Structure 1
Amino acid sequence: MPSSGLDARARQKQDRTPKKGKDTMSAGNGWIRVGTLADVPPGESRAVKISEGRSVALFNVDGRIHATDNQCPHMGFPLTRGVVKDGVLTCDWHGRSFDLEGGGCFNYECDDLETFPVDIRGDELWVQAGDATYRRRDQHLQLLWEGLLSGDSWTISKATALLLNGGVSEHDIVQLVLRHLGRHVASEQDAGGGGNIVSLLVSGLEVGKRYDGEDRLMALSLAGRAASGRASERLEVITLPPPVSWEQIDGWVRMFSRNMQDFRIERCLHTARENGQEAHIFKLLFECAVAPYFLGFARNVANLGDLARVVDTFGWGEASELVCNLGAKMVGRGRDEPERFHRDAVRLLEGLAPELESRDYGANTRTDYDENALVDALLSVDIERSFEAVAKALRDGVAIERLITTFVLLAADRMARTPVNVDAGWGPLSTEYNLAASLRHVHAYGGPAAAAKGLFHAAWQIFDNRWINIPSRALDEPLPDHASDAPDAATASERIVHAIKSLDIHGVGDQVVGYLNSGFDGSELLREIGRAILWDDTNMELLPTLRVTFNEWEGGGDADAGGSGHPSRYQLLVGLARYATDVRLNKNSMASINTAMRFSEGRTTVEVFDD
């Protein structure tokens, strides 16, 4: 087979005496005619388009013809605009350099350059560009790994786009991200930082499933960027020597959690995992996270739910280090001495704990109850009254999922009505909202007693946000009944997205209510609001709340999730739209996602910009 860079005169001589049985003029086996020798004079280069989104660069160096992909593997600049010296091709944009013969790149965060065999037939140039079959999975996974270590968003987006375009499954891509994340969190992050990263990772994956194309790539790239950072070596965690029973591990973890000794908890969890006792781990972690002394650590509960989702999706094999290390940091984290009201709340929950732990929740099946009385107590700025109202609802047999829905809709309603003339309190309010929704995970993984305690954590969060001056409103009070004057759903949706982008915080909520009152599809509107969120630099801030809103609005398979048919259900979308509008920057530093998509299709940046 001819090799890349054959001397032109030697090849011409060889072509005049072809080997027997070989038709050197055949266009088979991927050979393509790309021009003549006269088209590429010595010292010159030329680009030839060989298919849609794919071009070959031809270089004549001292009479030898070289053929490479014309797209720089770094950021897609046309390599025909580069410089060749001493057999090294250097891109003219960012200076990435390559071996012109073999294509090897001399820089990091850059794939090797693809080179092609050249055949000269008479005065015609032929290149064996091969087919478009994807064969660079391992190289692009390595590229993604480099991007994760450096935190370079372009490299992460580019590698992800190349892998997806090559048919590599999203599951395989995220497995690599998880392996990196486990070591990154273990060696570089505390409980808060690690928990936020996992929240963004899970949110990016779950939101991304609702989209395709560039929108899906954006969500995945946000997840990858959140997980990026240094991943240092650390001492190996050693299994405790046998015999060690689960009962011992359970007792030790609870004791170490009270004593804020996270490093001891990790070894216990690692031992349980190695002993095949992982089925018990999340129940124990959730029970620790909702202990009275963790009142005020709202993100602990939500982030443990995200960890559980990671294991459900990818298994313990990929997530073991992440769960054991971050789970230990969460339930063993340090706690300051609580201030007066906080101390009173801890004491109240400690008094209720025996009742909550011993109760038979099989009787909690009621869905009709005095919701307004509970909401009135939660907003009373009286923590004792608030806690007593939650306890009464549980004693009255109200279903835990129904109570969770009340907390979710109350938080959404507060986001839908918070004044924005001063500090709207979006951070605390979104925490309130996300915590309430995460109690569904507590219920699923930690059991009803843990979820019941979690309700008091949610009640405390509302009390702690008492500085946000939001007028009280009964949740069963009807919302305004006006309809949109748009001729159709698409126009009404476009107007709402325009209101978000034009920062019309005072009008966007009414537009959402009008859209929904018109009978238009709320799920489609949510997708459009989500798309507007993804393509703004506030995407990281809003991503967990967007994910929760998707799950609550769609119901997640639970008839009570999202309050289907509830008078305040529309507030889920109103609150999200107002939040997205008020914090919006109308700036997108991740616009390179578009370029990454075109890059994965083989197009140069010049072609992209020409579009």
Structure 2
Amino acid sequence: MRTEEWISAGTLDQLKSEGAKVIKGGIAVFAHEDGAAAVDNRCPHLGFPLHLGSLCDGILTCHWHHARFDICSGGTLDPWADDALAHDVKIENGEVWVNPAPRQTMSIEKLNQRLREGLEQNIGIVIAKAVVGLIEAGVSEDEIVRIGILYGTSLSSGWGSGLTILTAMRNVLPKLDKQGRILALYHGLVHVARAGAGRAPRHLLGPLPSADTSPKRLADWYRNCVEVRDSQGAEKVLLTAVTAGMSSDELADMLLTAVTDHFYLDGGHTFDFHNKAFEALDALGPDAAEIILASLMPLMRNPSRSEEQHHWQSPIDLVTPLKQAFEQLRSDDLSGKSATSAFNEDAFVDQLLGDQPLATIQQISDALMGGIAPARLARLITLAAAERIARFHTQNDFGDWLAVLHTFTYAHAVHERLLRSQEPLLYRALFYGAIAIYHDRFLNVPRAPKPKKDEYKAGIAEASTEDLLSLLDRRQQVEEAAGWVAAYLDSGRDHAPLLNTLGHSLLREDAEFHSFQMYEAAIAEYDHWRAMDGTEALADRAANTMLIACARYLAAHAPTAREMPHTARIAWRLHRGERLFESD
């Protein structure tokens, strides 16, 4: 670069007298030892002017948060701050010249490295800035998710809420605008980092020496290991199955059959987490099978088994009739069956929401033996579970929102798996979901009133979806949010902006695990029902129920302190070069 293209910073003597100065292009130039050094004037942590900092022994300290930088290279001593952009400096005839182009820039490789470091150190601002930088650089969202999934599954804690949130947010990205996608990725990655904080790396045990064992025998071995809570043996069998080349769907059937050998493990979380792990595997590809699926093994160490719990045995014994139903189904060949008579879906949903669990068990058995598709039953069970949330009365204990939420997300996970699986042993999961809905019945006594959409009909055709966000700036606007959403759905307007706004109502909060589950499951089930539009009378009502249930749940859990989205906004403003402070 020619000298005339460099920027003059004045004479070296003047610089030594002033100590530091800012020149064209926002570059801070410092007198350093017998020469000069230059860095971008914006502190890479949060943008404070570095020329207002102090330089001592070659270390430049920002006075806002005390981030420290090597003045020559720009490298930071603090993991929560990025490296400052350093500029080449030369002195000719006593005059200081600065190259306007930084010596290095934040490449995609460097951004990926910073994302990994943010995850490892559990530093939210680093994660946020890496996500913003990668998205703005055109990196695919799945590549960003891959970094989070591979990091989270490499730890001894195994698959849990953080990885579930990240996978759920990956699933809803198509429903969100650019800002929403950045927030969704950021939330998911931060929760992975938090879940992994302080955890040791996980070391895989390795497969058995021979991979010639038949898939059926491997499945039997795996179920036996899970039965006796031998998670290490289960891991070795699993890794042997992966080495043998079993497909993702075959592996899912093997693992989930073991999960459903006992009733409603850990309140439905075990099945739900398994389903999410397989969704992550679908996104990352088969090369990630070992590390992702092995991360599920800690879940199998000591899960609670609902058949051992009092409310599954008394005042009505539900364990014995369920076992009898499973035996009956086992003796009946369900393969290749198709329905030979009409099936009243509305009546089935009403049955699920009633208080006759033995009749419900029989009806599910009859439906399966009558050729009704298991995925169809799963879809209706999920609808009934959503109805529990849509009609959950706010006079209930606040913690009871989790009870109806767990049932809904479990039922959704079962629905997703049965859309892909024809394994009869997984049909047992339908019964567990139905009984969980039955156990939640008192949470609809009394039932919450239907949404008061008439109050919002006037003007809803022109209303901005931002009005919903304004409504949720106040606490406990549960019925109001339901009424607003119901009126919007009845207005005939495009639903896409509403789905995006519901996403933002989640992502602008410091939301906890279950709220992420609620939004993702509701959107997925909404899509399933909308795909049937025009083929079933129930479809529109069911799709609307999903969004009303989602709005009620999110409204009940808002607003929060909103610290996490604030951090994400800072990262985005820094990327765009905005000032985060005002000088005197």
TM-score greater than 0.5 by the shorter chain: yes
Match of 1:498 among 470, 477, 497: 470
SS in 2 for 1:281: helix
Tell whether the 8 Å contact from 1:240 to 1:271 is kept in structure 2 after alignment: yes
Deviation at 1:435, TM superposition (A): 1.6
SS in 1 for 2:326: helix
Counterparts of residues 76-95 of structure 1 (less than 5 Å): 76-95=47-66
Matched, 1:149 2:153: no
Instruction: Mark the structure with the bigger radius of gyration.
Output: 1
User: Partner residue of 1:223?
Assistant: 188
User: Partner residue of 1:394?
Assistant: 368
Q: Which has the higher contact order (CA 8 A, sep 6+)?
A: 1
Could you give the per-residue CA deviations for residues 35-67 of structure 1, whole angstroms, max 9, x where no partner exists?
Answer: 6768745343223452xxxx3211123562321
Deviation at 1:330, TM superposition (A): 3.5
Distance 2:311 2:94 in 1: 89
User: Partner residue of 2:276?
Assistant: 306
CA 1:39–1:413: 2 relative to 1, 3 Å: farther
Distance 2:537 2:409 in 1: 15
Distance 1:295 1:66 in 2: 62
Distance 2:267 2:241 in 1: 25
SS in 1 for 2:38: strand
Match of 2:544 among 566, 570, 591: 570
Match of 2:407 among 432, 447, 463: 432
Deviation at 1:420, TM superposition (A): 0.3
TM-score (norm 1): 0.84
User: Partner residue of 1:11?
Assistant: none
2:557 partner letter? V
CA 1:272–1:165: 2 relative to 1, 3 Å: same
SS in 1 for 2:30: strand
Tell whether the 8 Å contact from 1:361 to 1:448 is kept in structure 2 after alignment: no
Distance 1:48 1:356 in 2: 80
User: Partner residue of 1:282?
Assistant: 252
Distance 1:88 1:597 in 2: 27
2:402 partner letter? G
Matched, 1:232 2:200: yes
Could you give the per-residue CA deviations for residues 542-601 of structure 1, whole angstroms, max 9, x where no partner exists?
Answer: 111111122222338953799873434322111111111112134201111111112233
Distance 1:46 1:367 in 2: 84
Could you give the per-residue CA deviations for residues 366-400 of structure 1, whole angstroms, max 9, x where no partner exists?
Answer: 79522343234323333322211222222333333
Unmatched 5+ stretches in structure 2: none
SS in 2 for 1:569: helix
Counterparts of residues 454-465 of structure 1 (less than 5 Å): 454-465=429-440
Distance 1:404 1:484 in 2: 33
CA 1:415–1:35: 2 relative to 1, 3 Å: farther
Per mean C-alpha deviation after superposition, the further-off stretch among 348-357 and 261-270 is 348-357
1:421 partner letter? Q
1:338 partner letter? E
Distance 1:460 1:302 in 2: 16
User: Partner residue of 1:384?
Assistant: 358
Tell whether the 8 Å contact from 1:203 to 1:547 is kept in structure 2 after alignment: yes
Distance 2:417 2:45 in 1: 44
Matched, 1:422 2:393: no
Could you give the per-residue CA deviations for residues 426-478 of structure 1, whole angstroms, max 9, x where no partner exists?
Answer: 111111221222123221343252453221011121122233134579xxx99
Tell whether the 8 Å contact from 1:496 to 1:511 is kept in structure 2 after alignment: yes
CA 1:57–1:165: 2 relative to 1, 3 Å: farther
CA 1:315–1:557: 2 relative to 1, 3 Å: farther
CA 1:494–1:182: 2 relative to 1, 3 Å: closer
Distance 2:59 2:310 in 1: 70
Tell whether the 8 Å contact from 1:74 to 1:111 is kept in structure 2 after alignment: yes
Deviation at 1:479, TM superposition (A): 8.1
Tell whether the 8 Å contact from 2:115 to 2:126 is kept in structure 1 after alignment: yes
TM-score (norm 2): 0.88
Tell whether the 8 Å contact from 2:269 to 2:410 is kept in structure 1 after alignment: yes
Match of 2:558 among 584, 587, 610: 584
Distance 1:130 1:492 in 2: 44
Tell whether the 8 Å contact from 1:356 to 1:453 is kept in structure 2 after alignment: no
1:440 partner letter? H
Matched, 1:516 2:499: no
CA 1:108–1:117: 2 relative to 1, 3 Å: same
Deviation at 1:406, TM superposition (A): 1.8
CA 1:134–1:601: 2 relative to 1, 3 Å: farther
Could you give the per-residue CA deviations for residues 224-271 of structure 1, whole angstroms, max 9, x where no partner exists?
Answer: 112112341445412212253333311111111222222210111011
CA 1:309–1:495: 2 relative to 1, 3 Å: same
Percentage of matched positions with identical amino acids: 25
Could you give the per-residue CA deviations for residues 336-372 of structure 1, whole angstroms, max 9, x where no partner exists?
Answer: 6713442433332222224434433533457952234
Counterparts of residues 170-185 of structure 1 (less than 5 Å): 170-184=141-155
Tell whether the 8 Å contact from 1:72 to 1:79 is kept in structure 2 after alignment: yes
CA 1:86–1:558: 2 relative to 1, 3 Å: same
SS in 2 for 1:491: coil
Could you give the per-residue CA deviations for residues 115-163 of structure 1, whole angstroms, max 9, x where no partner exists?
Answer: 1112456786542232799553333323222221222222221222233
Deviation at 1:86, TM superposition (A): 1.3
Tell whether the 8 Å contact from 1:59 to 1:66 is kept in structure 2 after alignment: yes
User: Partner residue of 1:405?
Assistant: 379
User: Partner residue of 2:444?
Assistant: 469
Tell whether the 8 Å contact from 1:288 to 1:331 is kept in structure 2 after alignment: no
2:218 partner letter? I
CA 1:86–1:543: 2 relative to 1, 3 Å: same
CA 1:170–1:481: 2 relative to 1, 3 Å: closer
Match of 2:3 among 24, 45, 49: 24
Match of 1:599 among 574, 579, 582: 574
2:508 partner letter? W
Tell whether the 8 Å contact from 1:366 to 1:399 is kept in structure 2 after alignment: no
Tell whether the 8 Å contact from 2:167 to 2:279 is kept in structure 1 after alignment: yes
What's the Cα RMSD here? 3.2
User: Partner residue of 1:110?
Assistant: 81
SS in 2 for 1:47: strand
User: Partner residue of 1:203?
Assistant: 168
Per mean C-alpha deviation after superposition, the further-off stretch among 594-603 and 332-341 is 332-341
Distance 2:271 2:500 in 1: 27
Per mean C-alpha deviation after superposition, the further-off stretch among 125-134 and 95-104 is 125-134
Tell whether the 8 Å contact from 2:153 to 2:291 is kept in structure 1 after alignment: yes
Tell whether the 8 Å contact from 1:283 to 1:445 is kept in structure 2 after alignment: no
CA 1:205–1:563: 2 relative to 1, 3 Å: farther
Across the two proteins, how many residue pairs are aligned to each other? 570
Distance 2:329 2:345 in 1: 20
Per mean C-alpha deviation after superposition, the further-off stretch among 441-450 and 152-161 is 441-450
Distance 2:304 2:253 in 1: 22
Distance 2:454 2:580 in 1: 48
User: Partner residue of 2:287?
Assistant: 317
